[in-house]
Amino acid sequence: MTVYDKTLRLAHGEVRLPAFLPDATLGVVRSLDAADLEACGVEAVVMNTFHLMQRPGSSTVEALGGLHRMSGWNKPIVTDSGGFQAYSLIRQNPRLGRLSDRGIAFRPEGAGRKFLLTPEKTVQLQLAYGADIVICLDDCTHPEAPLPVQEESVRRTVAWARRGKAEFDRIVAAKALPPEHRPLLFAVIQGGSSRDLRRRCAEELLAIGFDGFGYGGWPLDEQGELLTDIIAYTREVVPAAYPMHGLGIGHPRYVARCAALGYSLFDSALPTRDARTGRLYVLDLEGDPATTEGWHSVVYVNDQKHVKAARPIDEACDCLACRRYSLGFLHHLYKIGDASYLRLATIHNLRAMVRLTSRLRAGRDG
Amino acid sequence: MTVYDKTLRLAHGEVRLPAFLPDATLGVVRSLDAADLEACGVEAVVMNTFHLMQRPGSSTVEALGGLHRMSGWNKPIVTDSGGFQAYSLIRQNPRLGRLSDRGIAFRPEGAGRKFLLTPEKTVQLQLAYGADIVICLDDCTHPEAPLPVQEESVRRTVAWARRGKAEFDRIVAAKALPPEHRPLLFAVIQGGSSRDLRRRCAEELLAIGFDGFGYGGWPLDEQGELLTDIIAYTREVVPAAYPMHGLGIGHPRYVARCAALGYSLFDSALPTRDARTGRLYVLDLEGDPATTEGWHSVVYVNDQKHVKAARPIDEACDCLACRRYSLGFLHHLYKIGDASYLRLATIHNLRAMVRLTSRLRAGRDG
């Protein structure tokens, strides 16, 4: 079964590829509501098992009817396994958690209890949440970590993916879901900067059998530049028929570059965080952004020169913020710290990402 | 000309009476956008000359096309004169400003310059802003202030209203506006708790000639109870043909009570502030709220008992928050401090105010 034909068909609807998926980490894209996302043309979001199991907690997500009913978002939801977040937490402070072959145990600061994330548990939770794409737990590494650490990570990531797949199959069989309601299961390819390890990880995961794959590990170097070579290579070792998710990739230029390399799903907090901190995207999509340069710039809303700007952020944009409000008014809302600024700016940057991926599709199809 | 026939016909549209007008103090109802207000059924808002002349500043409001174009709100706008805010500022710290027959001079903390608000200046600004209802500068007092202070306030309020009216007539004549585009001019009735002073103030203002009147001074006693007697009396001394604005009155019960007394416009930051601080309105409008009791209660969203509440805030409410989200999810958004909570809660409480005033109209018309 190939699930990848420029459109992903998921239990809660279709996602045209390539697609940028905003992060709704705790069940909400910060400062927006589900109707806002629909109005932006967003087709799917990424929510986060690691965070949701803490807040509001898994039993609350279930009591509120699963992630879709809880969040009012009726379209597809991808749920992150939590592997990356647990890695970040432990890397930041090793006393907050521990990783073993069994899984990841952690107790975030301020949390009253310990959490245990195993390969089975993350799949159980994601399925209980009602996710459209479930992601296996992986052992994330820093791209600069030494080879033995990367080898260990690949070994563990493959072992965990195998256990995740078994648990997934068991639950799906027990639920007897019709095929069109069955979630997809993705595995994450680790291996740091080693081509050899990336290839080996991909081949072993392909042998187990998944519906798609994610590029694992932080995708940028210390200078914030895309690790293009290894990202490109990792795509090459996975047959084109499988969708690949560029986890954590969200800069417009990097999305365009990775889409050209064959990646089709992207998520990152960057566009929404940029919006909140006053960095608003201006795109000139006349050319093909996958091949041309200079089509992306940034308006800094807080800049004093925008105080009396009666024009919108971006004349070419059709989002709520650009259709109805001047840059000068958004500057004012930013200065007075009104929450409406956060919403309008987030809507603008997300609409820019949707316009970009539409343009990338047109470039590919044209 | 009577402008008051259960519907106010204003330059930017009609307002059915009674109406609750949310405060968009700095050109925005905090955390909402203009489309949200429309979706709530709000027909007009109150903006504030005192605040707008500081932020974003009058020249910016003009550069951005006046208040309507700037804020994206195309329906009627009432602009407060600034008298009440200047009074509050000076009362709080007499070193921040000074009131004389000439007007009100003030320099708010943190402001780089001094501001001067005269009876003429406030009318000039409000007309330049494009307001639909302009309010004359008044000399506000505390309801408990001694009689000589109240007498002085009435004398000054009448003198300022006369100067405001002259300036208004001068500018309107110079602009040669067609009658349907002419803003209305309201004056404010002061007099503290003295019936005699309230009546005298009203009569002198009626002799000058205005389109409507506001009840001036803080409308609640030290216990937060409505000063019903003097509010009722002040309405009686103004002919019923004139619309009257209950300035600062916004508690649902007080709006219902004052509407029954003949007040037709209300504004207060209470419903939106209550929303932001987690006090959500639940109304049972089966009876006539102007005459019955017990139709208004409050849900405290932060209450632990709502964590898993899958029901909406108010089953009878048709706002975005109630149609699409559970109380449990709103509790979650409140707990994580997401700006979307502020918006959804504000939409809910404003929709409650619109439902209430609609019900009051039906009760009156029925």
The per-residue pLDDT for range A49-93, each reduced to its tens digit, is 999 999 999 999 999 999 999 999 999 999 999 889 988 999 889
Q: Taking CB atoms and an 8 Å cutoff, what residues of chain A touch B331?
A: 56
Q: CB distance A326–B34 less than 8 Å? A: no
Please give the interface size between A and B, counted as residue pairs whose CB atoms are below 8 Å apart. 125
For A226-270, the pLDDT digits (tens) are 999 999 999 999 999 999 999 999 999 999 999 999 999 999 999
Q: Does A70 touch chain B (CB under 8 A)?
A: yes
Cβ-nearest to A64 among B55, B308, B339: B308
> What Rg do the C-alpha atoms of chain B give, in angstroms?
20
In this structure, the dihedral spanned by the alpha carbons of residues A37, A38, A41 and A46, taken in order and rounded to 10 degrees, is 50
Beta partners for residue B280, in sequence order: B299
CATH 3.40.50.150 fits B7-268, yes or no: no
Q: Taking CB atoms and an 8 Å cutoff, what residues of chain A touch B338?
A: 26, 28, 30-31
Q: Find all residues with CB under 8 Å of B173, minimum gap 6, and list them.
A: none
pLDDT, averaged across chain A: 95
Residue A41: its pLDDT value, please?
98
Which of A276, A332, A347 to mutate to probe the B interface, most B CBs <10 Å?
Answer: A332
Q: What's the rounded Cα separation, in Å, for the pair B15 and B38?
A: 13
Q: Taking CB atoms and an 8 Å cutoff, what residues of chain B touch A339?
A: 30-31, 339, 342-343
CB B364 within 8 A of CB B347: no
Cβ-nearest to A340 among B28, B56, B325: B28
Which parts of chain B sit beneath pLDDT 70?
1-5, 366
Instruction: Please measure the distance between the N-terminal and C-terminal CA atoms of chain B and give it in whole angstroms.
Output: 27
Cα angle for residues B55, B60, B64 (degrees, 5° grid): 125
Look at residue A180 and tell me whether its pLDDT is greater than 70. Answer: yes
Q: What's the rounded Cα separation, in Å, for the pair B152 and B129?
A: 30
Look at residue A1 and tell me whether its pLDDT is greater than 50. Answer: no
Residue A2: its pLDDT value, please?
40
Q: What's the rounded Cα separation, in Å, for the pair A326 and B128?
A: 19
Q: CB distance A332–B55 less than 8 Å? A: yes
Side-chain-side CA neighbours of residue B89 (13 Å): 21
Residue B1: its pLDDT value, please?
34
| B132 part of the active site | no
Q: What's the rounded Cα separation, in Å, for the pair B269 and B22?
A: 7
Q: CB distance B33–A344 less than 8 Å? A: yes
Q: CB distance B340–A63 less than 8 Å? A: no
CB A261 within 8 A of CB A231: yes
Q: CB distance A56–B27 less than 8 Å? A: no
Q: Whose structure tokens read 């002349």? A: B53
Cβ-nearest to A342 among B60, B70, B339: B339
> The tokens of B315 are what?
């089953």
Delimiting residues of CATH 3.20.20.105 domain(s) in chain B: 7-268
| A303 part of the active site | no
Q: Does B342 touch chain A (CB under 8 A)?
A: yes
Query: What mean pLDDT do residues A156-165 have?
Result: 98
pLDDT confidence band for A5 (50 / 70 / 90): low
CB A71 within 8 A of CB A22: no
- Give the Å distances, CA to CA, from B366 to B358, B360, B362, B363: 12, 10, 6, 5
- Give the Å distances, CA to CA, from B165 to B9, B88, B213: 20, 24, 13
Q: Does B269 touch chain A (CB under 8 A)?
A: no
Q: Whose structure tokens read 């509790």? A: B331
Q: Catalytic: which of B23, B36, B132, B267?
A: B267
* Total residues belonging to chain A: 366
- Find the DSSP H helices in chain A: 34-40, 49-52, 58-63, 66-71, 83-92, 119-129, 147-175, 195-208, 228-236, 252-260, 270-276, 320-324, 327-335, 339-365
Q: Taking CB atoms and an 8 Å cutoff, what residues of chain B touch A329?
A: 27, 64, 70-72
Neighbours of A100 (CB within 10 A): 9
Cβ-nearest to A60 among B33, B70, B308: B308
Q: Taking CB atoms and an 8 Å cutoff, what residues of chain B touch A55?
A: 332, 335-336
CA distance A87 to chain B (A): 22
Q: What's the rounded Cα separation, in Å, for the pair B119 and B78?
A: 17
Residue B115: its pLDDT value, please?
92
Residue A110: its pLDDT value, please?
84
Cβ-nearest to B338 among A30, A335, A336: A30
ipTM over 0.95: yes
Q: What's the rounded Cα separation, in Å, for the pair A44 and A31?
A: 17
Q: Does A111 touch chain B (CB under 8 A)?
A: no
CA distance B62 to chain A (A): 9
pLDDT confidence band for A109 (50 / 70 / 90): confident
Q: CB distance A70–B307 less than 8 Å? A: no
- Give the Å distances, CA to CA, from B299 to B22, B254, B268, B280, B361: 20, 19, 20, 5, 26
CB B296 within 8 A of CB B352: no
Locate the chain A residue with the closest alpha carbon to B69: A325
Which of B282 and A6 is assigned the larger pLDDT?
B282
Q: Find all residues with CB under 8 Å of A286, minimum gap 6, and list them.
A: A295
* Total residues belonging to chain B: 366
Q: Taking CB atoms and an 8 Å cutoff, what residues of chain B touch A66?
A: none
> The tokens of B136 are what?
């004359």
Look at residue A167 and tell me whether its pLDDT is greater than 60. Answer: yes
